[in-house]
């Protein structure tokens, strides 16, 4: 091996590390898919591809509207599930830590009775995202009311509530990649 070949191999490895870091939301996807996304990133076209597929951001901007949006979906697909006490956007949830939303179950004793409350919090970054992405995250968090773990039954429930769940999850990962690298394509 010559010195030039070694230097070339080192540059290639460094490029792969950079690509892996830039595409961390796509870590579990095939090299073919990640290379296609890397090409869109390199050509600065990822944002326009997302906007072409999902032309506008939703209008669910307040916590009250988010609560209504979530309860409507819950009532359509999960009428018998426990009621939600709170649904809100949360600026403290960082998607960088692999959280797009959170669900909490709090049990309290009031008098002689045990009261349970469920809360859902959605990362504030989704305040300015397409409606489809917001729905995918809400569906995911609602599914945790019935299935606590990410099991086959959990994902079947997600697909029941949103048939395009897996495609929307992938597209949301593309959106997060775009936001991290160049900002949201939906903000002026």
Residue 56 counted as domain residue: no
Query: Could you read off the pLDDT of 117-161 as tens digits, one per residue?
Result: 889 999 999 999 999 999 999 999 999 999 989 999 999 999 999
Whole-number Cα distances in Å, 49 to 43, 56, 75:
11, 12, 33
Per the structure block, which two tokens stand in for 54?
A: 């999902």
Does 80 share its domain with 140? yes
Q: Are residues 98 and 162 in the same domain?
A: yes
The domain containing residue 15 runs over which residues?
3-43
What mean pLDDT is predicted for residues 1-16?
44
Dihedral, 56, 175, 158, 79 alpha carbons, nearest 10 = -40
Clarify whether residues 90 and 150 are in a common domain.
yes
Does any domain span residue 53?
A: no
Q: Indicate if 19 and 100 belong to the same structural domain.
A: no
Question: Looking at the domain assignment, is residue 52 inside a domain?
Answer: no
Position 164 in a domain: yes
> Average pLDDT for residues 17-40, to the nearest whole number?
83
pLDDT at 114: 75
**pLDDT score of 36:** 96
Q: What's the whole-model pTM score?
A: 0.82
Do residues 85 and 162 share a domain?
A: yes
Q: Extract long-range pairs of 154-160: CB within 8 Å, 24+ residues apart.
A: 160/77
CATH number at residue 111: 3.30.2010.10
Residues 148, 81, single domain; the answer is yes
Same domain, 87 and 165: yes
- Based on the domain organization, do 82 and 39 belong to the same domain? no
Check if the beta carbon of residue 152 is closer than 8 Å to that of residue 144.
Answer: no
Residue 105 counted as domain residue: yes
Assign residue 133 a region (left: φ > 0; alpha: ψ between -120 and 50; beta: otherwise): alpha
Query: What is the Cα–Cα distance from 137 to 134, expressed in whole angstroms?
Result: 5
């Amino acid at each position: 091996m010559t010195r030039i070949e070694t230097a070339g191999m080192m540059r290639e490895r460094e490029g792969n590390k950079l690509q892996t870091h830039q595409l961390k939301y796509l870590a579990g996807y095939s090299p073919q898919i990640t290379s296609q996304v890397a090409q869109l990133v390199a050509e600065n076209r990822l944002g326009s591809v997302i906007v072409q597929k999902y032309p506008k951001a939703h209008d669910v901007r307040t916590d009250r509207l988010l609560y209504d949006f979530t309860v409507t979906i819950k009532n359509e697909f999960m009428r018998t599930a426990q009621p939600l006490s709170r649904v809100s956007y949360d600026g403290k949830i960082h998607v960088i830590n692999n959280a797009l939303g959170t669900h909490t179950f709090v049990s309290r004793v009031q008098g002689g009775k045990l009261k349970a409350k469920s809360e859902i919090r959605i990362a504030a970054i989704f305040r300015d995202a397409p409606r489809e992405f917001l729905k995918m995250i809400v569906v995911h968090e609602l599914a945790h009311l019935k299935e606590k773990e990410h099991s086959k039954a959990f994902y079947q429930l997600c697909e029941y509530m949103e048939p395009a769940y897996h495609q929307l999850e992938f597209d949301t990962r593309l959106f997060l990649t775009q936001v991290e690298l160049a900002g949201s394509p939906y903000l002026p």
